[in-house]
Amino acid sequence: MFDTKVAILVLDDLATWQKLNVAAFLATGIAAAAPEAMGDPYEDVAGRGFARLLGQPMLIFAAGESELKRAHRISGEKGLSTAAYVRAMFSTGHDAANREVFKAEPADAPDLVGIAIRGPKKDVEKATKGARLHP
């Protein structure tokens, strides 16, 4: 049904609140990078409007460091739309500080705690190989 696939990989040993926080931030990054993938606004029976959602499923995976590194490497090689969250971002309090600590990470080996990717199904599946759907 979809030519593309969206996957969010979250480090499996994080606290629950951290996993949810990382997944939420990464989902917004992927949605913002793919405005063409957004569905229409929602409306309830009373006519109240609700925000648009991404028009395709997002699979959330529990991943170890090796799976995160693999997804990071392959997303770069394949040119996939990518959002990333590094451990240092837990210690900041706002977006500008997040960008500063992100930029300070080594480009080839950031301390990833989560990564989201969107692109052709085959490429996303290759990048997520070894990760398991989050329980």
The SS3 call for residue 113 is strand
Q: How many domains does the chain have?
A: 1
Over residues 11-21, the pLDDT tens digits come to: 999 999 999 99
- CATH number of domain containing 97: 3.40.1490.10
Angle among Cα 68, 128, 85 to the nearest 5 degrees reads 35
E strand spans, the chain: 4-11, 42-43, 49-50, 58-63, 81-86, 112-120, 132-133
CA atoms within 13 A on the CB side of 113: 20
pLDDT in tens, 31-65: 999 999 999 999 999 999 999 999 999 999 999 99
Domain that holds residue 120: 4-133
